[in-house]
A = this chain, B = another copy of it.
Amino acid sequence: MSRSPALRPRNALYAQSGGVTAVINASAHGVIDACRRHRRHIGRLYAGRDGIVGVLTEDLIDVGREDPATIRALSATPSGAFGSARYKLRDLERDRAKYERLLEVFRAHDIGYFFYNGGNDSMDTALKLSQLGEQMGYPVTCIGVPKTVDNDLPVTDCCPGFGSVAKYVAVSTLEASLDVASMARTSTRVFILEVMGRHAGWIAAAGGLAARRAGDPPHLILFPEIPFERETFLARVRDTVQTQGYCVIVASEGTRDAEGRFLSDMGTRDAFGHVQLGGVAPALATMIKDSLGYKYHWALADYLQRAARHLASKVDVRQAYAVGRAAVELAVSGHNAVLPVIVRQSARPYRWAVGSAPLSAVANREKMVPRSYITADGFGITAACRRYLEPLIEGEIPPRYERGIPVYARLRGVRVRRRIKEPFVI
């Protein structure tokens, strides 16, 4: 895994990938800061505009042309400031032309270091690139930078991006619960918050952090890991309304039944008979209304939850920055095909450090919420889960506000001069 450092400085390329987060730009900030500290190894730093698509089309941003104040503001700016892409490269057999094009662009711009900021698909791409580069006589150091709101990467204790969405969901659940509690006597009895996480229930689990004491809302959490049973669910809603006066539910978008059918796919059609996607909350609300008759409200936070930099977790911002910086440190110290990971040293008090793992250990793998983190009835989180989650939402680090709204960085995005004649159509 280790080889001697490059003898002359080579250029570096950074790209953002997949769904963005409130803190992925903090990782960019970490990468940029660290590249500047390693001039002996790293010359210029470029970024793919809209991620890997910008690399394929040789649409690169010259990061050195950005204002230093803009770069510093990246840590307080949500979403992908350089642009991201949902663009999965398949295996080498099927997408060989694309991998070769990437290496062609690397060669044209003397890219010796590639930092790929994404989830498990992206780690797989980075791994394949490092392998193919070696085979084709253009060795390039490929380092992953972990990012995903879903927290489903293995090996790392947690994943930058998750802590902030977890904090958003915990705070929103708390606030909406107070609202429903204060109105329930004459109005809404049931409130449902639908959250992200189609495969893993980590984000839904974070809703459980809204509760401080036994009996506090949320009263029910629906995880993708626990098969949904209509009758059990409805009985619990009825019991909760009868004893507490109201019922707050946090439902993962990935809630599914024992046959694996998503609740969101079962139900709603528009007036023309088209299936209406993305609605666990309305499906549950209709079920409750029809069977129990309670007045309901529901919310679907969608992008608001993963873009909410105004409510980011300080721990998450710090970790996002740290993995960006560590990626560069790993590269210049001669590592390849690895990614920095978060290592938990202690839960209370929370202490963490950055370690590293081979890309092959995380590529295309998912980490689900373990059964021991979910209460026996399947509707809540255990003390062990709370001990795991709580440090990740710790601390506030608000952006600067001007005239009532946050000031978020806007890049100039100056394009690097093209060196390849042939265009590439994606």
A-side residues, CB < 8 A to B, are: 16, 19-20, 50-51, 53, 77-87, 167, 170-172, 174-176, 178-183, 185-187, 191, 193, 209-210, 266-272, 274, 276, 278-279, 282-283, 286, 290, 297-304, 306-311, 313, 390, 393-396, 398, 401, 403-406, 408
Q: Please, could you name 14 A-B residue pairs with CB atoms under 8 Å apart, sorted by A?
A: A53-B186, A79-B179, A83-B182, A167-B405, A171-B310, A171-B406, A174-B408, A175-B310, A179-B306, A278-B282, A310-B311, A393-B404, A394-B403, A395-B404
In the complex, are the beta carbons of A210 and B405 less than 8 A apart? yes
Nearest 7 pairs of A and B residues by beta carbon: A393-B404, A80-B182, A299-B302, A79-B178, A175-B307, A179-B307, A50-B185
Which chain B residues border A405 with CB–CB below 8 Å? 167, 170-171, 174, 209-210, 393
Residue of B nearest to A283 (CB): B270
Interface of A is mostly: mixed
In the complex, are the beta carbons of B270 and A270 less than 8 A apart? no
Which chain B residues border A193 with CB–CB below 8 Å? 304
In the complex, are the beta carbons of A183 and B84 less than 8 A apart? yes
**Cα distance A19–B188 in the bound complex, in angstroms:** 10
In the complex, are the beta carbons of B172 and A304 less than 8 A apart? yes
Which chain B residues border A278 with CB–CB below 8 Å? 282, 297-298
In the complex, are the beta carbons of B398 and A398 less than 8 A apart? yes
A394 and B404 in contact, given A186-B53, A303-B179 (Cβ under 8 angstroms): yes
- Min C-beta distance of A158 to chain B, whole Å: 13
Which chain B residues border A78 with CB–CB below 8 Å? 175, 178-179
- Min C-beta distance of A391 to chain B, whole Å: 8
**Cα distance A179–B209 in the bound complex, in angstroms:** 25
Which chain B residues border A16 with CB–CB below 8 Å? 182
A304 and B307 in contact, given A79-B178, A401-B396 (Cβ under 8 angstroms): no
**Cα distance A79–B172 in the bound complex, in angstroms:** 12
Which chain B residues border A82 with CB–CB below 8 Å? 182
Q: Which of B85, B297, B302, B396 contacts A185 (CB 8 A)?
A: B85
In the complex, are the beta carbons of A303 and B185 less than 8 A apart? no
- Min C-beta distance of A399 to chain B, whole Å: 10
A313 and B404 in contact, given A20-B182, A270-B269, A303-B299 (Cβ under 8 angstroms): yes
Interface centre among A16, A290, A396, A404 (most CB of B within 10 A): A404
Q: Which of B181, B308, B309, B404 contacts A209 (CB 8 A)?
A: B404
In the complex, are the beta carbons of B404 and A170 less than 8 A apart? yes
- Min C-beta distance of A286 to chain B, whole Å: 5
Which chain B residues border A271 with CB–CB below 8 Å? 266-269
Which chain B residues border A266 with CB–CB below 8 Å? 271
**Cα distance A270–B268 in the bound complex, in angstroms:** 4
Which chain B residues border A83 with CB–CB below 8 Å? 181-182, 185
In the complex, are the beta carbons of A307 and B176 less than 8 A apart? yes
